[in-house]
Amino acid sequence: MYKILRKEILSANIKLMEIFAPKVAQKAAPGQFIILRIDEQGERIPLTIADFNAEKGTITMIFQEVGKTTSQLGTMKVGDSIRDFLGPLGIPMHIKNYGRVVCVGGGVGVAPLYPQARALKQAGNEIISIIGARSKSILFWEDEIHKVSDKSYITTDDGSYGHHGFVSDILKRLLEEKERIDRIIAIGPIPMMRVLCELTKPYNVPTFVSLNSIMVDGTGMCGCCRVTIGDEVKFTCVDGPDFDGHKVNFKELNARMKRFVPEEKEAMELFRKRSSCICQ
Amino acid sequence: MPIDDNKKTPGTAKKINYIREKMPVQDPSKRKNNFEEVALGYNEETAKKEASRCIQCKTAPCKNGCPVEIDIPAFIKLVAEGKYDESIKKIKEKNNLPAICGRVCPQETQCESLCTLGKKGEPIAIGRLERFAADYEAANVPSNETKISPSTPAPKVAVIGSGPAGLTCAADLKRMGYNVKIFESLHASGGVLRYGIPEFRLPKSILDREVKYINTLGVEIEYNMIIGRVATIKELMQEYKAVFIGSGAGLPYFLNIPGENLNGVYSANEFLTRVNLMKAYKFPQFDTPAAMGKRVGVVGGGNVAMDSARVALRLGAEEVYIIYRRSEEELPARKEEVEHAHEEGIKFKLLTNPIKIIGDSEGNIKEIECQQMELGEPDASGRKRPVVIKDSEFTIPMDTVIIAIGQGPNPLIPQTTSELSIGKHGNIVTNEKTGETSIPGVFAGGDVATGAATVIKAMGAGKIAAKSIDKYLH
């Protein structure tokens, strides 16, 4: 059992949890993820690591409540325990001094972006970060990102804060201004990563994305998370989750994320029904 | 319980009976709608009758066919005499997982294939008797195995993976007096016995019982431990005197044909893991789904393909096809499994080779394109090589395709252990006779060394490694 030590409600449906998992925390590195299963009936879901603290023995995750499992996780309180917690999984990001790195995060993608930006900063890179959200109310970790960046930009789709528009607007401007960019890290919703990769390709700037495919075991055993990278099929869990964004087949990935939509809806409806019963 | 007090010893100047006792099974029309066990097992009467057929021949060739060296004639004699609890003790001298082996071992190609009676008639049903003895014990004999407490200064051995190889190796080492700990990456024990073999062939309650037995010996299992990531082999070696790697063949192979990443295409590993480990057959009571269409094609002809097809049927598929490029004779699955699949209404598209999976605009499967094959000259495996018949392409409408063409060794430990010598199929290179790897003190066995094979072969490898580890630590 893995205890929840801290919980923060970052916005209506985005929550932060710090979990006591000393062995995972000891080994966690930027770019990695964990798989958790809430209880005996639960499914195994991957969540990216937003932060880790080997001394405290904790792993921090930030998640958006999108389906049954994340919604159920969101109802859990400090002191509650998660049944299973496996990690760290995936290949850690390659950290070195590239020069100037632009770190782009959208939505909850800002969470896994943070440890990557921090590690790159510590390795001597100049960090320009661009973080975006639909609206100011759901933006989080602005300060954290700011602290590890030499320069940071904020965008909101509705213009409630920062630049009115998308993260891609800012990146486009930087590219057009012919600012030297040595590497781009882009983490966020699939459509965002796809747009960013299409944008950077003509400029030939290496662009790395972090994929959050559907998984079962997370150890290379089932192939559920397979993605097409160039002309090769890779498993996100053991070959990723970071990939060269210019090679990712986003169209296929997008379709694969919808594999279980009817079942996810059914599970969600059942969960809502059950939780409303408990409330009454 | 009725005990036969007929004291006549079996085999004494008795007429030889060449016909084996039939195994009762659940009716096919019923069982294709449930996940309960298909084969129901002998009762005392039928077990005794079957055991009494054994002529106790001096040569006992059956023993040579058992990878874990069970004293087969001895345990059968005890069943014939009604000494069931002694019989299971005899088996457990060599085999820690008898209820499992009795169910899933391919006895027909091992012990039973060598049985003297088999020359003139039907060999003794050794597997069924093994199962009977194990099930009898579970139902009637209170567990009195005393916990072997860790004898304090005993060296510590780490075992990676709680599948058949790991469980066997750990139990044997524990009996030799070592402190043994198993590291399992999943949240449950058993490896392929849990995620691969369906409930109707191996009820998980049986697996739980066998693992519990190994626990009572004093073997601890730590779950959610992904060796290679949470700790490397090198790090384990600082705390443990020896390591056994039994991480299995958890890397599914695909056909590498167009359309394989369409929605509705599963690897058999994914499909079976969802259903068996995650209990998708109880969705939405359990959270994991295993979405399925009405028309399901399973590509492959082994036991995993049969399991996948029969699971699909039980989940409500209307038509399930086995798509296999050779003929029925070459099907690598156990005969019994093929028969059961036939009985349940699985359709066999033989001499059929898939070349393309075709989808709709949403990325969902619509149909599978295949070509007709014929058998040519034998290939390196000795089986007749399937040859394409020209211009024979045709399509079959499908909602779901399950790829069951085999799996390779799990790559995680090889990837993260640079000193480990790796074969060309990604397998850990070992000395077959000892389980030694290229790193002193590190042993390996089972599917991670051989590629996908059988449960009992993995158990045999676990046994061999346990002996070698004992030798290494002395």
Task: Give me chain A's average pLDDT, please.
Answer: 95
What gap in Å lies between CA A63 and CA A48, rounded to an integer?
Answer: 9
What gap in Å lies between CA A6 and CA B173, rounded to an integer?
Answer: 42
A220 CB neighbours in chain B (<8 A) are 250-251, 410-412
Give the per-residue SS3 of B277-313. HCCHHHCCCCCCCCCCCCEEEEECCCHHHHHHHHHHH
B362 CB neighbours in chain A (<8 A) are 255, 258
Q: Mind listing the pLDDT tens digit for each residue in B238-266? A: 999 999 999 998 899 999 999 999 999 99
Helix (H) or strand (E) holding B423: none
Query: Beta strand B319-323 with B347-349: parallel, antiparallel or unpaired?
Result: parallel
Task: Give me chain B's average pLDDT, please.
Answer: 93
A82 touches chain B (CB under 8 A): no
Please give the CATH architecture assigned to the domain spanning A100-257. 3-Layer(aba) Sandwich (3.40)
B256 CB neighbours in chain A (<8 A) are 233
Q: Mind listing the pLDDT tens digit for each residue in B377-436? A: 888 878 889 999 999 999 999 999 999 999 999 888 998 999 999 999 899 999 999 999
Q: Give the mutation candidate from B181, B226, B278 for the A interface (greatest A CB count, under 10 A).
A: B226
Q: Mind listing the pLDDT tens digit for each residue in A161-170? A: 999 999 999 9
Mean predicted confidence (pLDDT) in A247-268: 95
Classify domain A2-89 by CATH number. Answer: 2.40.30.10
Mean predicted confidence (pLDDT) in A238-260: 96
Closest-CA distance, A31 to chain B, in angstroms, reads: 13
Q: What is the pLDDT of residue B352?
A: 97
What secondary structure does DSSP assign to B347-381, as a single string?
A: EEE-SEEEEEEEE-TTSBEEEEEEEEEEEEEE-TT
A238 CB neighbours in chain B (<8 A) are 411-412, 415
Q: Mind listing the pLDDT tens digit for each residue in B91-135? A: 999 998 999 999 998 899 999 999 999 999 999 999 999 999 999
Q: Which residue of A has its CA nearest to B361?
A: A255
Among the partner-chain residues A216, A220, A262, the one whose CB lies closest to the CB of B274 is A216
A259 CB neighbours in chain B (<8 A) are 263-264, 291
Among the partner-chain residues B278, B279, B363, the one whose CB lies closest to the CB of A252 is B363
pLDDT at B148 over 80: no
Residues 6+ apart with CB under 8 A from B426: B251, B408, B409, B411, B414
B187 touches chain A (CB under 8 A): yes
Q: What is the pLDDT of residue A19?
A: 98
B250 CB neighbours in chain A (<8 A) are 217, 219-221
Q: How confident is the model at residue B451 (pLDDT cuts 50, 70, 90)?
A: confident
Residue ranges, comma separated, of all CATH 2.40.30.10 domains in chain A are 2-89
Burial B42-77, CB ≥16 within 10 A → b, else e: bebebbbebbbbbbeeeebebeebbbbebbbbbbbb
Whether the ipTM is more than 0.85: the answer is yes
> Tell me, what amino acid is at A251?
K
Q: How confident is the model at residue B145 (pLDDT cuts 50, 70, 90)?
A: low
B258 touches chain A (CB under 8 A): no
Q: Kindly determine whether residue A263 and residue B185, on different chains, have CB atoms separated by under 8 Å.
A: no
Mean predicted confidence (pLDDT) in B318-340: 95
- Of B124, B97, B106, B305, nearest to B207 by C-alpha is B97
Q: Mind listing the pLDDT tens digit for each residue in B217-228? A: 999 999 999 999
Token pair of B275 as six digits: 């259903």
A44 CB neighbours in chain B (<8 A) are 187, 278, 288
Q: What is the pLDDT of residue A277?
A: 67
A259 touches chain B (CB under 8 A): yes
B394 touches chain A (CB under 8 A): no
Give the per-residue SS3 of A59-72. EEEEEECCCHHHHH
A16 touches chain B (CB under 8 A): no
Q: How confident is the model at residue A55 (pLDDT cuts 50, 70, 90)?
A: very high
Q: How confident is the model at residue B1 (pLDDT cuts 50, 70, 90)?
A: very low
Q: Mind listing the pLDDT tens digit for each residue in A169-197? A: 999 999 999 889 999 999 999 999 999 99
Among the partner-chain residues A37, A221, A238, the one whose CB lies closest to the CB of B187 is A37
Mean predicted confidence (pLDDT) in B69-80: 96
Q: What is the pLDDT of residue A179?
A: 80
pLDDT at B6 over 50: no
Contact A103, A185 (CB under 8 A): yes
What gap in Å lies between CA B333 and CA B56, rounded to an integer?
Answer: 30
What gap in Å lies between CA B222 and CA B156, rounded to an integer?
Answer: 15
- Examine residue A88 and say whether the peptide bond preceding it is cis (omega within 30 degrees of 0): yes
Token pair of A187 as six digits: 């983490």
Q: What is the pLDDT of residue B382?
A: 82
Residue ranges, comma separated, of all CATH 3.40.50.80 domains in chain A are 100-257
Closest-CA distance, A229 to chain B, in angstroms, reads: 12
Q: What is the pLDDT of residue B247?
A: 95
Q: Kindly determine whether residue A219 and residue B415, on different chains, have CB atoms separated by under 8 Å.
A: no
Q: Kindly determine whether residue B187 and residue A83, on different chains, have CB atoms separated by under 8 Å.
A: yes
